[in-house]
Structure 1
Amino acid sequence: MGELVWEKRQFGHRARLALTPAQVRLMDDQAHAARAMWNQLHDLWQMTPKCQRALTRMDQALRQARKEIDWYAVLPAQAVLKTYFQAWRNCWDGRADEPNFKARFRTALSVDIPQGRDLQIKRVHRRWGMVNIPKVGRVRFRWTKDLPVGKLADRENRITGARLVKDGLGWHIAFRIQTLELKPEPHQGPEVGIDAGVKLPLALSDGNHQDHGRPARLPDGTADRDKWLNPQEKAKLLRLEQRAAHRKSFRKPKERSSNRLHVTYDQIRQLRARATRRAIDWQHKSTTAIANQYGTVVVEQLQITNMVKSAKGTIENPGRNVAQKSGLNRSISQEAWGRTVTLLTYKTARNGGTLVKVPAPNTSLRCSACGFVTPGSREDQATFVCKNPDCGWSANADWNAARNVLHLYRIGLVAIPAAGRAVVRRTRGVKPAAAR
């Protein structure tokens, strides 16, 4: 029996808040004030020379602004300043991009609570808990996960802070949790290669595919952007979009939108948020099942940003098949391949497994039976037929790619990101083999 090893784990938990109309107004005021303060801090940071940038100077400027501007009082003191400096630390450490300006209509409303001791969390019911939100008061939230509060909380197991976020379904609170857990033993499960696709969301090399059963395209061939909604919700969404377009037609240029139009937009946003929640729920369940079953998960090193670029081109060099490429880009974005890899990364590590990335070129064009790349093997998006006269193997295109992904790992070709690009490194002294 080996020695027990403890390790710190940091993760988040999101819960829905049950706010009264008065509390919703207070939360909205805080979020708008936090966004305005963030933008002013960002402007002050850019105008201040690098040699004079310091937390104390920014703190003094913020305290003076709170005395002169009345609506700054709705915010907890120093909350936005700490969040802004933490954003720069994340940038300097390479965990995020540089902080930028937050636009009013393109930025999600959020308020950060940097200190966990201010929350004063208490469980009052089997399904409900109470949390203290500064400047708002005691608020109920859905208790769906045991939290380290009360007697369960100590120096190593505690809630370090939270963030309040608003989407189409209302306000939610995301707790930042720190725990001390035993380091998991190495996962003894098998190896598996995964190919992320549009027709088949997650194709596995052993045939145990993960499919959400929602077609990516409509009968007319166009991309279904609302596949996570049922027929009744799709009909309602169509009516709301038509109503919004009708009401928008009466608005004159530079005229403020009517309250009815804003209500319609809120209803549309609610349906979109419901669809997004269903998609994320399926991703969590699928990636959890994969991390529990397999010890080594192999995926492709994809440059998704480059894959979803528009094919429109320029006036001098116009693009071809622009509409088809636009539909494909929309389908790729809906599947959220990057989020799937992110979920697999931390879930495999939590179960003692590993996630490995291999180079992506030709994984969809190479035959996994004979190892040759022959022109015309991809007859369509779903079927692979090898054109090698000595082979002729046919199968699902995504399954064929998943087999190739696993084969690249077994022969030692691993893509290691370095300086913004993928570097191929052979990790094992195994001679490449064309067939398996």
Structure 2
Amino acid sequence: MQKKRQFGHRARLALTPAQVRLVANQAHAARAMWNLLHDWWTMLPKDKRTLAAADAAIRQARKDIDWLAVLPAQASQSVLKAYFQAWKNCWEGRADAPNFKTRFRTVLSVDIPQGRDLQITRVHRRWGLVNIPKVGRVRFRWTRDLPVGRNANADNRITGARLVKDALGWHVSLRVQTLEAAPNPHAGPEVGIDAGVTIPLALSDGNHQDHGRQPRLPGGTADRDKWLNSDEKAKLLRLERRAAHRKSFRKPGRKASNRLKRIYDQIASLRARAKRRASDWQHQTTTELARTYGVIVVEKLDIPNMVRSARGTVERPGKNVAQKSGLNRAIAQEAWGRTVTMLTYKTARHGGTLHKVPAPNTSLRCSACGFITPGSRKDQATFACKNPLCGWSGNADHNAARNVLYLYRMGHALIPAAGRAVVRRTRGVKPAAAR
């Protein structure tokens, strides 16, 4: 059986200085188009807010304002479509109301909705060429096979793209649609996974996944720049000190100087490089897990609540605020939610399944005897059961992973239904490894 699959592919663009200016002008025009459309929409009476009227207003604006015409007509229509979708998400309760896009806090992007405009060709093993409307042919890094040329048809093709700028430069995000054979059910074993700080991904069978980047700073807090090497950390420290020194000379209410902005850009580049390395490790690790295991079980975590500050209020100040803030940074760096998202679609692609179980007491319960004894969880890394009839000890994350798998086998898997989670009772036998 054939199954349609839609995914995105991101590649770095090799733009010339002239092309950088053209693409940046288009991105600023798209941002300005959004802001003008937002002002027009909010000032009109509700009975006159229609899609046809907004389309006519955009067409007239591109005729009257010269610098808006640098944005291709189809990209302007994409801005209109995205704006209406933002209001739809707001009305349905999925997001807040759309607002004004500022110049320095908005990611520069340009949408290319039609895949036929891209005209992608492969030059050789490392490079390809993509056509950007009103810019021309641009080279990009070729890192995977794409349905172009003779391999492209109605079922296997590139449906569109988006140009996005980050701290490392301009990238093209291609929207790819393919027709693939539905995967056979995965015959691999079951595994429970506990996301932690000491061990990033602890597995119930002991095959833990560690990225080997857990250096500690004085005081025991996790290193926030663990994905940078020693030279990059030293460079980042010099740049931050230089930025703080130059910022001390800026008068209140004055804009930052161009020299200070360049320092901020260099800092952002190092941060983006670290983020890309972390994402690459997550992709490789989750792919290997999806290929190895047929059933993957994780906890249903309320991450926003877990990383909430312990500062408290003036009347009721919090305790151990510095330690809690360090733990919050470590949790945010591991990006547990992104790991679960990757596992969700990768297990489905390889024929496996991903299940979620309730999170309470998985780190406090002993996976050997099944009792919750006060004082068993010593710290973030060690679990030693205080039950005099048990006495099992080991890594705390490994103990939690065993409990996660046990909950699934006992039928406590959660299934989202009508916006909430319900418990599905499954038949299972308590395994010897989890007793």
TM range (shorter): over 0.9
Answering whether residue 349 of structure 2 is matched by residue 319 of structure 1, we say no
Deviates more, 1:192-201 or 1:217-226: 217-226
Structure 1 residue 426 displacement after superposition: 3.3
Task: Provide, for residues 132-181 of structure 1, a one-character-per-residue CA deviation record: whole Å limited to 9, x for no partner.
Answer: 11121111101111111111111111101111111111000000000111
1:199 alignment partner AA: T
Structure 1 residue 86 displacement after superposition: 4.5
User: Could you say which residue in structure 2 is the equivalent of 1:8?
Assistant: 4
Distance 1:40 1:339, change over 3 A: same
Task: Provide, for residues 258-298 of structure 1, a one-character-per-residue CA deviation record: whole Å limited to 9, x for no partner.
Answer: 11111111111110111001000000000000000000000
Answering whether residue 68 of structure 2 is matched by residue 72 of structure 1, we say yes
Distance 1:46 1:394, change over 3 A: farther
2:107 alignment partner AA: A
Structure 1 residue 433 displacement after superposition: 9.2
Matches within 5 A, 1:18-417: 18-48=14-44, 51-77=47-73, 78-88=77-87, 99-215=98-214, 217-417=216-416
1:398 alignment partner AA: D
Query: If the length of structure 1 is used for normalisation, what is the TM-score?
Result: 0.94
Aligned residues: 431
Deviates more, 1:207-216 or 1:38-47: 38-47
- CA RMSD, 1 decimal: 2.1
CA distance in structure 1 between the partners assigned to 2:428 and 2:280 by the alignment: 40
CA distance in structure 1 between the partners assigned to 2:46 and 2:356 by the alignment: 39
CA distance in structure 1 between the partners assigned to 2:180 and 2:22 by the alignment: 38
Structure 1 residue 201 displacement after superposition: 0.3
- Give 3-state SS (helix, strand or coil) of 1:340's partner: helix
1:428 alignment partner AA: T
CA distance in structure 2 between the partners assigned to 1:253 and 1:188 by the alignment: 64
Deviates more, 1:363-372 or 1:250-259: 250-259
Structure 1 residue 76 displacement after superposition: 1.3
Structure 1 residues not aligned, in runs of 5+: none
2:369 alignment partner AA: C
Equivalent residues of 2:409, 2:427 under 8 A apart:
no
- Give 3-state SS (helix, strand or coil) of 1:74's partner: coil
Structure 1 residue 429 displacement after superposition: 4.6
1:259 alignment partner AA: N
Distance 1:183 1:12, change over 3 A: same
Query: If the length of structure 2 is used for normalisation, what is the TM-score?
Result: 0.94
Equivalent residues of 1:83, 1:112 under 8 A apart:
no
CA distance in structure 1 between the partners assigned to 2:309 and 2:418 by the alignment: 25
2:29 alignment partner AA: A
CA distance in structure 2 between the partners assigned to 1:386 and 1:149 by the alignment: 59
Distance 1:291 1:49, change over 3 A: farther
Task: Provide, for residues 88-113 of structure 1, a one-character-per-residue CA deviation record: whole Å limited to 9, x for no partner.
Answer: 56667887765444333222221111
- Give 3-state SS (helix, strand or coil) of 2:357's partner: strand
2:365 alignment partner AA: R
Equivalent residues of 2:411, 2:428 under 8 A apart:
yes
CA distance in structure 2 between the partners assigned to 1:238 and 1:142 by the alignment: 31
Distance 1:180 1:98, change over 3 A: farther
Distance 1:370 1:97, change over 3 A: farther
Equivalent residues of 1:131, 1:139 under 8 A apart:
yes
2:25 alignment partner AA: D
CA distance in structure 1 between the partners assigned to 2:399 and 2:344 by the alignment: 23
CA distance in structure 2 between the partners assigned to 1:282 and 1:288 by the alignment: 10
CA distance in structure 2 between the partners assigned to 1:351 and 1:433 by the alignment: 25
Structure 1 residue 34 displacement after superposition: 1.4
CA distance in structure 1 between the partners assigned to 2:78 and 2:322 by the alignment: 46
CA distance in structure 1 between the partners assigned to 2:91 and 2:401 by the alignment: 36
Distance 1:272 1:35, change over 3 A: same
Deviates more, 1:146-155 or 1:43-52: 43-52
CA distance in structure 1 between the partners assigned to 2:97 and 2:354 by the alignment: 28
Distance 1:295 1:90, change over 3 A: farther
Matches within 5 A, 1:416-435: 416-418=415-417, 421-423=420-422, 425-429=423-427
Distance 1:187 1:420, change over 3 A: same
- Give 3-state SS (helix, strand or coil) of 1:252's partner: coil
Distance 1:94 1:414, change over 3 A: farther
Equivalent residues of 1:216, 1:331 under 8 A apart:
no
Distance 1:175 1:433, change over 3 A: closer
Equivalent residues of 1:191, 1:295 under 8 A apart:
yes
Task: Provide, for residues 40-60 of structure 1, a one-character-per-residue CA deviation record: whole Å limited to 9, x for no partner.
Answer: 323434444555443211101
